[in-house]
Chain A
Amino acid sequence: MSMKSVELILPAALTTPAEARAVVEAIGSDLPEPVLIDVKLLMTELVANALKHASRGIQAVIIRITRNHIVRVEVLDPGPMFNPDPRPPGTGTGSGRGLFLVDAVASAWGVEPEEAGKKVWFELRVAAGREGDVSL
Chain B
Amino acid sequence: MSVSRPDNFTVRSGPTGALVLAGELDVATIEELQDRIDEVLVPGQPIVLDLVDLTFMDSSAMHCLVRTFEATGRPVVLQNASRALRRILGHMTQEPEAWVFDEQRQTPMPM
Residues of A within 8 A of B (CB): 11-15, 17-18, 21, 33-34, 37-38, 40-41, 44-45, 48, 51, 55, 89, 92, 97-98, 100-101, 104-105
Binds A, one of B42-50, B73-81, B88-96: B88-96
B27 contacts across to A, CB distance below 8 A: 14, 17, 48, 51
Q: List 29 A-B contacts (CB under 8 A).
A: A13-B4, A14-B1, A14-B3, A14-B4, A14-B5, A14-B6, A14-B27, A15-B28, A17-B26, A17-B58, A18-B6, A18-B8, A18-B24, A21-B24, A33-B83, A37-B88, A41-B56, A41-B58, A44-B26, A44-B58, A48-B26, A48-B60, A55-B1, A89-B94, A97-B63, A98-B59, A100-B94, A101-B91, A105-B91
Query: Lowest 6 CB-CB distances: which A-B pairs, in order?
Result: A14-B28, A13-B2, A89-B94, A44-B58, A98-B59, A48-B27
Complexed CA–CA distance, A47 and B92 (Å): 18
CB pair A51–B63 under 8 Å, yes or no, is no
B4 contacts across to A, CB distance below 8 A: 13-15
B2 contacts across to A, CB distance below 8 A: 11-15
Complexed CA–CA distance, A15 and B5 (Å): 7
Q: Which of A15, A37, A44, A104 contacts B93 (CB 8 A)?
A: A104
Complexed CA–CA distance, A103 and B27 (Å): 20
Residues of B within 8 A of A (CB): 1-6, 8, 24, 26-28, 56, 58-60, 63, 66, 83-84, 87-88, 91-95, 111
B56 contacts across to A, CB distance below 8 A: 21, 40-41, 44
B87 contacts across to A, CB distance below 8 A: 34, 37-38
The closest CB in chain A to the CB of B24 belongs to A18
Output the residue of A21, A41, A100 with the most chain B CB within 10 A: A41
